Structures are given as structure tokens and as C-alpha cells.
């Protein structure tokens, strides 16, 4: 979508959410999800560039004979090293195909705090956690609170207000 299409899409999503919450919450939710999506797409594009660069380098070097030279590329020192790099080339090509498919479909993977938490889940003992502790951390990582602010309002805005000297926080929640 062009910028006008994106703005119209966000406006429609915000209006649908505003009916169930408040305009501030709806704005915060649509903005944060749009930011997460944009970051995920940028990360996929950067990964594609990185994979293409690595594949180009490996392709040139694996075409050259072991211990020899072909054009501007030097081959790998031994046949075994060349074979290992050919395997690596296949893995990278497979990863590139998956990245290209995600970009084409416009479906990046977006999950808050997932990498570290998933790693901990797969090895709870090394993380020093039980499943219940891990699960509560997993759920907590997905909760966030934000609201679009107003510069001229005292202590934040009408939705989230915080007084730093008196140490109080006030959150105005939408009606149930």
C-alpha cells in the first residue's frame, strides 16, 4: 500500500477498536502493531540482503576447484572444506527462499520477546526456571501499556498519568 492506503487502513482499524475501547487506546494499539509489523518487514529485507551477499560469495568460491582458482575467486583449500561450504550454501539458499516467501506474502513473524523466551522454554533447566515461572514471564512479555500523549497535559495525558514526586500512577481504562 502507498502512504494514503496505509493511513486509510489504520484509520479503519482504529475506528473499529474505538467502538470497543477509547480513541487513545485504539490509537496506541494500532500504532504499536503497525510499528512492530514495519520493523519485522525491515528485518526480513535486511536478512535477504545478508543472505544474498553470503550466497554470492559462497557460489563463486564453490565453483572454483579446491586449491585452485576460477576467475577472481579462489577455491577452498581442501575438497572437504569445499563440500562443507556447498552444504552451507544449500542451507542459506533454503533460508533465502523462506524469507522471500514471507516478504512476498507480507507475513513476517512478529512476537514480543520471543527469541530469548523461546530459548529458555526449550532449556528450562539451564535457564533456572520451571514451566510455571517461564509461562508467567512469557505472558508478562506480551503485556504492554502505552497511550498517545499530549504535550500540554500535566503528568502525561488523560489516559495514563504519572506524578514523579508523589509517586502515583493513574490509568483510565475503557468501560467493560
Q: How far apart (Å, rounded) are the C-alpha atoms in residues 125 and 148? A: 40
Q: How far apart (Å, rounded) are the C-alpha atoms in residues 103 and 83? A: 30
**Are 135 and 150 in a shared domain?**
no
Q: 166 lies in which domain range?
A: 145-176
Residue 74's H or E segment, with its range, is: strand 73-74
pTM for the structure as a whole: 0.66
**Are 50 and 122 in a shared domain?**
no
Ranked by mean pLDDT, which of 98-107, 130-139, 166-175 comes out on top?
98-107
Answer whether residue 175 shows pLDDT above 80: no
Overall average pLDDT of the 122-149 stretch: 83
**Are 90 and 66 in a shared domain?**
yes
**Are 140 and 168 in a shared domain?**
no
Out of 64-68, 105-109, 116-120, 142-146, least confident range: 142-146
Answer whether residue 124 shows pLDDT above 70: yes
Q: How many structural domains comprise the chain?
A: 3
Residue 156's H or E segment, with its range, is: none
Decide the pairing of beta strands 160-163 and 168-171.
Answer: antiparallel
The b-or-e profile of 40-53 (16+ CB within 10 A means b, else e) is bbeebeebbeebee
The b-or-e profile of 7-30 (16+ CB within 10 A means b, else e) is eeebeeebeebbeeebebbbbbbb
Answer whether residue 119 shows pLDDT above 80: yes
> Which one has a higher pLDDT value, 49 or 175?
49
pLDDT in tens, 62-71: 888 888 888 8
**Are 46 and 131 in a shared domain?**
no
Amino acid at each position: 500500500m502507498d502512504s494514503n492506503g496505509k493511513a486509510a487502513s489504520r484509520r479503519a482499524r482504529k475506528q473499529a477498536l474505538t467502538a470497543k475501547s477509547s480513541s487513545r487506546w485504539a490509537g496506541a494499539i494500532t500504532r504499536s502493531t503497525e510499528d512492530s509489523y514495519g520493523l519485522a518487514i525491515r528485518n526480513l529485507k535486511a536478512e535477504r540482503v545478508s543472505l544474498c551477499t553470503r550466497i554470492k560469495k559462497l557460489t563463486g568460491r564453490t565453483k572454483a576447484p579446491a586449491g585452485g582458482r576460477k576467475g577472481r575467486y579462489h577455491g577452498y583449500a581442501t575438497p572437504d572444506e569445499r563440500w562443507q561450504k556447498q552444504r552451507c550454501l544449500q542451507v542459506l539458499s533454503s533460508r533465502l527462499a523462506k524469507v522471500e516467501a514471507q516478504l512476498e506474502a507480507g507475513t513476517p513473524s512478529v512476537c514480543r520477546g520471543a527469541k530469548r523466551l523461546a530459548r529458555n522454554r526449550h532449556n528450562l533447566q539451564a535457564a533456572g526456571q520451571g514451566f510455571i515461572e517461564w509461562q508467567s514471564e512469557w505472558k508478562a512479555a506480551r503485556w504492554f501499556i502505552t497511550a498517545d500523549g499530549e504535550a500540554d497535559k500535566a503528568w502525561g495525558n488523560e489516559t495514563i498519568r504519572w506524578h514523579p514526586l508523589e509517586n502515583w500512577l493513574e490509568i483510565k481504562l475503557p468501560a467493560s
